[in-house]
Amino acid sequence: MLFTSTEISALEARYRAALINSLSGFKPANLVGTANREGQTNLAIISSVVHLGSHPPLLALIVRPSPVERHTLENILETGCYTINHVSDQFIEAAHQTAARYPREQSEFAATGLGEHWMEGFAAPFVREASIRMGLELREHRQLDINDTHFLIGEIVLAEVPQGHLGEDGSVDICAAGTVALSGLDSYYSTRRLRRMAYAKPDLPPTPLG
């Protein structure tokens, strides 16, 4: 099946969303935790987290424009901080349910049964059940001209990783930690490492490690 630009534009909206959302490949499954200045918490599943750089350690995420309220966006802009928590196979259902449009005064933590975990001096809640979690401070916010989405760039100021899944070289075995992957807006996958490869150099053949 080949879709041209004209055909993509003419697709029924839900069909087009499902198709296009599948095309970027596997995406990370993360829960973004926030609170407003009064301490009202919010939790939302977000699949658009991308790595921007390691030094400084930056992650970006995309919040869609919408006529409806966007609590995550509002809280991040209000407090300048938020958490990113890996979704693991232990709590996929609750994580997915955070996408439901709860009213502002109802926290997705309470609604889904996921627990709040607070760290001293950090004004956004982490997810108690998540084993890999980060605290971020907002560094840049741009609303993109092309489709009005919000591009939020944050610096990782706290990173928590289980000791047993942290390699000697600093890499994290997110597969062993139970982190799941996402396709589209509804399909969750477990992962299996197939290979680990040495740093690629023009004068060396591809070299598997270990």
187: number of Cβ within 10 Å: 12
Q: Which of 101, 192, 193, 201 binds ligand FMN (CB under 6 A)?
A: 101
Query: Interface with ligand FMN includes 47 (CB under 6 A)?
Result: yes
Query: Interface with ligand FMN includes 157 (CB under 6 A)?
Result: no
Q: Which of 195, 188, 193 is nearest to 165 (CA)?
A: 193
Query: Interface with ligand FMN includes 99 (CB under 6 A)?
Result: yes
- Distance in angstroms (rounded) separating the CA atoms of residues 81 and 208: 39
- Distance in angstroms (rounded) separating the CA atoms of residues 202 and 200: 7
Query: Interface with ligand FMN includes 31 (CB under 6 A)?
Result: no
Q: Tell me which stretch binds ligand FMN (CB under 6 A): 44-52, 80-88, 164-172, 190-198.
A: 44-52
Per DSSP, the residues of 56-120 read TEEEEEEE---SS--HHHHHHHHHSEEEEEE-BTTSHHHHHHTTS---TTS-HHHHHTPPEE--T
Beta carbon of residue 27, minimum distance to ligand FMN (angstroms, whole number): 8
- Distance in angstroms (rounded) separating the CA atoms of residues 99 and 95: 8
Q: Tell me which stretch binds ligand FMN (CB under 6 A): 2-10, 62-70, 109-117, 161-169.
A: 62-70
Q: Which of 16, 70, 139, 165 binds ligand FMN (CB under 6 A)?
A: 70
Query: Interface with ligand FMN includes 179 (CB under 6 A)?
Result: no
Q: Tell me which stretch binds ligand FMN (CB under 6 A): 7-15, 38-46, 133-141, 197-205.
A: 38-46
Beta carbon of residue 151, minimum distance to ligand FMN (angstroms, whole number): 11
Q: Which of 28, 71, 131, 132 binds ligand FMN (CB under 6 A)?
A: 71
Q: Which of 47, 44, 40, 48 is nearest to 32 (CA)?
A: 44
Q: Which of 44, 114, 152, 180 binds ligand FMN (CB under 6 A)?
A: 44
Query: Interface with ligand FMN includes 128 (CB under 6 A)?
Result: no
Say whether the peptide bond before residue 125 is cis (omega within 30 degrees of 0). no
- Distance in angstroms (rounded) separating the CA atoms of residues 59 and 30: 12
Task: List interacting residues with ligand FMN (CB under 6 A).
Answer: 42, 44-48, 62-64, 69-72, 96, 99, 101, 182, 185
